[in-house]
Amino acid sequence: MDKLWKLRLWGLGFAALICAVDQYIKWVVRVQLELNQPPGVYEILPFFDLRWTRNFGISLGMFEATSVEMRWGLVLGTALIAGVVFVWMLREKAKGDIFGLSLILGGALGNIYDRYTWGYVIDYADLHFGEFRPFLIFNVADAAITIGVLIILARSFLVPDKGAKKADKDETPDELPAES
């Protein structure tokens, strides 16, 4: 097995780890802390609580599933997106991109599992400063997806494309425009 495939397999393993950690923490919140029962809040710090929330939508609560058909549509849609990320990861050559994609895939799998099992995604991490909340209530999967997307975006804007540089060097003199 070549080095690139080992890296991709590492990425898949990391995605599985992200999904497992996400599900474990959701289990702790639901079963051990019983936050799915009133009052549903466990204060950790003055600015950070564990707060039981059921998210029937996707990112930022958009596209809320108000019927069984919409629920399964969201499961199917997010599974298709996860499938695209999976294929992309298997084709990717850059270590940083594989890492970002593994975060996205692991987070997506954690949230897909919730939606499939419960009909909603369990959110619990509540960062707040008084009444001000810079983020909606989220979970490990959401954080992994967000960080993964930011890594992919940052790398696409900040890391030069090696393929374009190689193509520039490979041009022969007769391909260059004639000077007048």
Annotated catalytic residues are 123, 142
- Cα gap 82→104, rounded to integer Å: 8
Q: Give the three-state DSSP class for 100.
A: helix
Q: Is 33 exposed, middle or buried (0-12, 13-18, 19+ CB in 10 A)?
A: middle
Residues 30 and 36: their CA atoms lie apart, in Å, by 6
Residues 144, 146, 147, 153, CA torsion sign: positive
